[in-house]
Structures are given as structure tokens and as C-alpha cells.
């Protein structure tokens, strides 16, 4: 990319790159590292005046097989924290990021909530996850004694991109839709705001005129 002086680097992050949760310390550490790496690299690209673009796509919980083949010593099956999205939603966002200049893409509401909540009420969030972070990530089903684990060796089987949560996973993301069509979205939001202000001013004018007539 330096030789060609063009191209896009898309790094895949997570809502957990902004707010950690219990039981996923290693995963959260990796995602925090990706965010830090991306920021540092961006400084270097700007300093060297390269025409290489960087984007970080932050994902919510995805319906992938990781919850069935990650090493689990909790005795219960692992599950993602809702809302859950299908992997095709993430694939579309990553593909979009490769061909459109965006600094960040937040897929789904969880990344937005994680960033805002950490800034507004970090202490409350600590206590909340300490209590709800366990039950929210562990299913009621017992973990089989022979459950697969890919920590030290690969897992055999006909695994694909989907996990076992197809019945819960969403096929679309409103947040990604607004980011993908951000010009139309902000134009519409601006028009709505101006219209609302106009109607409010008109209502006040009518109310004032009616009051003056009543006094007369």
C-alpha cells in the first residue's frame, strides 16, 4: 500500500473494544489492542502523507460458532449477549468499509451504548456487569463433558459461518443503514428539524394572535 500510495485497511473491532465484560478478559484485551493499534497507525499514515485509508468496524454479538468451540470451563453453554446479528450483516459492513471512506462504523446499537455508558456512568456499569454479566453470557443448558475446544488444536466438523442462534439473530442493522446512507439520513434529519422549528414558531405566532384577540 505504501508503494502504491492507495488502499483501505479495515480492522474488525467490537463493542467490547470500548467496554469490557466478565468472562471475556482475553477477548476484550485483544479488541482494545486493535483499537489502540488502529489509532497509532492512523497517526503514522497522516504523518507520512499517505493516501491509505483506515477504518474500524465495531461489531455487536454475532451468531458464529465461537460460542460452541471456544474452551469453556464454566459448566454451562456460552451464549452471546442480545441483540445478536447474523454474520452476513458483519460481512456487508466490512465490504462497505473497504470501498467507502469511513473512519468508524458501529454495527448495531451495542457499540454506541458501550461508548456512551462508559462515559456517563462507568461505576454503575461496573456493578451491573459484575451482577448480570455472568447470567447474560451463560445458557441454562449444561455443557457436555466432551464439548469441542479449539484453544490448543482445531475442531473437526462441518462448521460454517453461522452458530446455533439463527432463531434469535437479526438480518439487518438500522445503525449500519444510517451510516451507509449518512448523507440522506442527515439531510432528512436536518429537514425534519427545520420543519419542526417552523411549525413550533408558527404555533406560537397563532397562539399569540389568539391571545391578543381575546384581550381585545
**In the predicted model, what is the mean pLDDT of the chain?**
84
83: preceding bond cis by omega (within 30 degrees): yes
pLDDT score, position 206: 59
Domain coordinates in residue numbering, the chain: 8-172, 181-216
Whole-number Å distance between alpha carbons of 160 and 163: 8
pLDDT band at 166 (very low <50, low <70, confident <90, very high): very high
The residue behind cell 458501550 is 114
pLDDT band at 176 (very low <50, low <70, confident <90, very high): low
| Better-scored residue on pLDDT, 187 or 96 | 96
Q: What is the mean pLDDT of residues 168-177?
A: 73
Whole-number Å distance between alpha carbons of 111 and 58: 7
Q: What is the mean pLDDT of residues 95-112?
A: 87
- Supply φ then ψ for residue 84, to 5 degrees: -110, 140
State the pTM of this model: 0.74
pLDDT score, position 174: 66
Residues 33-87: pLDDT tens digits?
A: 999 999 999 999 999 999 999 999 999 899 999 998 889 999 999 998 888 999 9
The residue behind cell 425534519 is 192
Q: Which triple of cell numbers denotes residue 183?
A: 448523507
- Supply φ then ψ for residue 215, to 5 degrees: -70, -35
pLDDT band at 185 (very low <50, low <70, confident <90, very high): very low
Amino acid at each position: 500500500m505504501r508503494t502504491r500510495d492507495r488502499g483501505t485497511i479495515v480492522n474488525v473491532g467490537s463493542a467490547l473494544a470500548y467496554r469490557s465484560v466478565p468472562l471475556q478478559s482475553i477477548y476484550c484485551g485483544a479488541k482494545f489492542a486493535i483499537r489502540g493499534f488502529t489509532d497509532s497507525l492512523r497517526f503514522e499514515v497522516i504523518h507520512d502523507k499517505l493516501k491509505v485509508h483506515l477504518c474500524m468496524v465495531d461489531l455487536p454479538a454475532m451468531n458464529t460458532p465461537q460460542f460452541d468451540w471456544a474452551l469453556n470451563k464454566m459448566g454451562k453453554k456460552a451464549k452471546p449477549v442480545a441483540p445478536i446479528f447474523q454474520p452476513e450483516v458483519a460481512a456487508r459492513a466490512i465490504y462497505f468499509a473497504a470501498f467507502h471512506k469511513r473512519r468508524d462504523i458501529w454495527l448495531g446499537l451495542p457499540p454506541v451504548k458501550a461508548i456512551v455508558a462508559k462515559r456517563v456512568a462507568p461505576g454503575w456499569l461496573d456493578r451491573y456487569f459484575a451482577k448480570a454479566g455472568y447470567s447474560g453470557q451463560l445458557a441454562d443448558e449444561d455443557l457436555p463433558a466432551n464439548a469441542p475446544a479449539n484453544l490448543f488444536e482445531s475442531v473437526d466438523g462441518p462448521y460454517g459461518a453461522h452458530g446455533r442462534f439463527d432463531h434469535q439473530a437479526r438480518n439487518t442493522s438500522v445503525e449500519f443503514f444510517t451510516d451507509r446512507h449518512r448523507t440522506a439520513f442527515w439531510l432528512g434529519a436536518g429537514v425534519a428539524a427545520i420543519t419542526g422549528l417552523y411549525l413550533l414558531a408558527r404555533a406560537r405566532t397563532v397562539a399569540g394572535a389568539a391571545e391578543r384577540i381575546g384581550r381585545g
